[in-house]
Amino acid sequence: MFDTLSDRLAATFKNLRGKGRLSDADIDATAREIRIALLEADVALPVVKDFIASVRERARGAEVSQALNPAQQVIKIVNEELVTILGGETRRLRFAKTAPTVIMLCGLQGAGKTTLAGKLAKWLAKNGHQPMLVAADLQRPNAVQQLQVVGERAGVVVYAPEPGSGVGDPVKVAKDSIEEARRRQHDIVIVDTAGRLGVDAEMMQQAADIRDAVSPDEILFVVDAMIGQDAVTTAQAFLDGVGFDGVVLTKLDGDARGGAALSVAKVTGRQIMFASNGEKLDDFDAFHPDRMASRILGMGDVLTLIEQAEQHFEAEQTAKMAEKLLKGGKGNEFTLEDFKQQMLQVRKMGSLGKILKMLPGMGEMKDQIDSIDDKELDRVVAIINGMTPAEREDPKIINGSRRARIAKGSGVEVGEINQLVDRFFEARKVMKQMAGGLGGMKGGMPGMGGFPGLGGGGKKSRGKAQQTRPGKSKGKQRSGNPAKRAQEEAAAEARAAAGAEAAFDPANFELPAELKGLLPPDAK
């Protein structure tokens, strides 16, 4: 959704790189480009004005003028201001002191409230709660049946005493659901209310009546992130008519410009709490303003990637794999069966494209990432499943006839078998090198053993290092005069030091955010 905005901002910051000092003209030009990028992303005009004014003021201050790298400081300022307009701190659900906690969903028809209710319920269930869905949307045809289907898919109980489609009293259903939840020992009640095609007095009154009947602990306004600045108008109308405590964004995986996400929190003063970014019930998570700002600026989202990996990768199996690689030797080789298990665990995390986009620096490879076929992993698993246990254990025995048999059994060409086996051996070689660096660490940087230019090399690399040692270059022999030789070595050391100083520019060095968080405030 934020691809266009990310591309515009990346192009703007690219023009700043390499400048040792930023003039007022540079700052004005940068602010103008950022303003255009935000307006094109359909961000509300008042939000854009406040954002640009804050960025321009801070960019002209001491934090940029006295910085070693002004361009990085400007990016840092834009990142911090993005976090601010997205809500600042991550907002968590408030739970009632006495169960059940009541969560009421409201919003326009078509915003995705019913599906969102199922996603929220499943997310809460994964976090140790016992939610119950309440079908209080009795106006829209088949809304009750839709919630029942969604609840069944999510594995969550649905309270639906009325058939809906214009039949039943939604206020009574919502009120009775609280007692039903207590009786069935559910600690959370999620009330799905009716929406309309536009903001009208009848819809607002019904939502207000349900609010008064159940006294919800949280009222969440569900907004379609694809409707642009209309989202701000609708949100303000709901805030005035019913009131809400937090915002939930749906359809963040769409191709719209995403201005709603950057406007709603700032205009209404209510933070975005959750975001839905796909059609599956698992495509839902808490909204983190700092992580979203990082994505918009093309810096990736490593923390979310780690959290997803922790959820889907089995700790015991991962530990066994690590131990196996570190031990090495016969019987501890990385096999095709191990390779398959890793593919299956990656597949559980979702689309390969989404995973790669969370990595820093992948913003410039969006076209290649978008062209990735997730079915490729399924084909790899099918090929490995077509092999015998002996072939998976020792791929070297896979000869021509075996490859033909595997290809026929898995429905692929022989060439794909060749490519898989070749890639597997390359992957195993790299993993051996990494394990060697972690296990031995002789003469190299920790974890970098065997990699060219990073230490831990063999005899050949050590011999090459000796040839380039100061005072023993191939083109010039050392003097036999001890005094003269000492001068030559001192001069060589000075040249080496000057080269190292030129290669390392402290202005370009910056600690990762995760490491900065470990430093005391006065050391950052």
Residue 102: what residue type?
V
Per-residue pLDDT tens over the stretch 58-89 = 888 877 777 667 778 888 888 888 888 888 88
| Percentage above 70 pLDDT, the chain | 68
Please name the residue that has the structure tokens 């009222």. Answer: 219
Question: Taking 90 as the threshold, does the pLDDT of residue 498 lie above it?
Answer: no
Question: Taking 80 as the threshold, does the pLDDT of residue 206 lie above it?
Answer: yes
- Contacts (Cβ under 8 Å, ≥6 apart) of 419: none
**Average pLDDT value over all residues in the chain:** 76
Per-residue pLDDT tens over the stretch 402-420 = 999 998 888 888 888 888 8
Please name the residue that has the structure tokens 């599956």. Answer: 280
pLDDT of residue 351: 72
Q: What is the DSSP letter of 128?
A: T
Q: How far apart are CA 2 and CA 272, in angstroms?
A: 16
Domains of the chain plus CATH, in order, are: 3-85 (1.20.120.140), 101-299 (3.40.50.300), 305-437 (1.10.260.30)
Is 181 a known ligand-binding residue?
no
What is the full DSSP assignment across 35-75? HHHHHHTT--HHHHHHHHHHHHHHHTSHHHHT-S-HHHHHH
Question: Taking 50 as the threshold, does the pLDDT of residue 40 lie above it?
Answer: yes
Is 128 a known ligand-binding residue?
no
Is 444 a known ligand-binding residue?
no
Is 111 a known ligand-binding residue?
yes
Question: Taking 60 as the threshold, does the pLDDT of residue 473 lie above it?
Answer: no
Q: How far apart are CA 218 and CA 93, in angstroms?
A: 7
Q: Which of 5-9, 321-325, 462-466 has the lowest mean pLDDT?
A: 462-466
pLDDT class of 337 with cuts at 50, 70, 90: confident
pLDDT of residue 219: 94
Question: Taking 80 as the threshold, does the pLDDT of residue 463 lie above it?
Answer: no
Is 108 a known ligand-binding residue?
yes
pLDDT of residue 437: 55
Closest CA to 247 of 143, 113, 150: 113
Is 195 a known ligand-binding residue?
yes
Question: Taking 50 as the threshold, does the pLDDT of residue 475 lie above it?
Answer: no
More confident residue, 446 or 221: 221
More confident residue, 524 or 99: 99
Is 109 a known ligand-binding residue?
yes
| Percentage above 90 pLDDT, the chain | 20
Q: What is the DSSP letter of 100?
A: P
b vs e for 289-325, b when ≥16 Cβ sit within 10 Å of the residue's Cβ? bbbbbbbbbbbbbbebbeebeeeeeeeeeeeebeebb
Is 432 a known ligand-binding residue?
no
Per-residue pLDDT tens over the stretch 181-194 = 999 999 999 999 98
pLDDT class of 524 with cuts at 50, 70, 90: very low
Is 251 a known ligand-binding residue?
yes
Rg (CA), the chain: 30
Is 390 a known ligand-binding residue?
no
Is 115 a known ligand-binding residue?
no
Question: DSSP 3-state helix, strand, coil percentages of the chain (rounded to 5)?
Answer: 55, 10, 35
Residue 243: what residue type?
G
Is 194 a known ligand-binding residue?
yes
Per-residue pLDDT tens over the stretch 252-284 = 776 666 676 678 888 888 888 998 888 888 888
Find which of 121-135, 358-372, 461-475 is predicted with most confidence, using mean pLDDT.
121-135
For range 28-36, the mean pLDDT: 89
Q: How far apart are CA 231 and CA 170, in angstroms?
A: 25
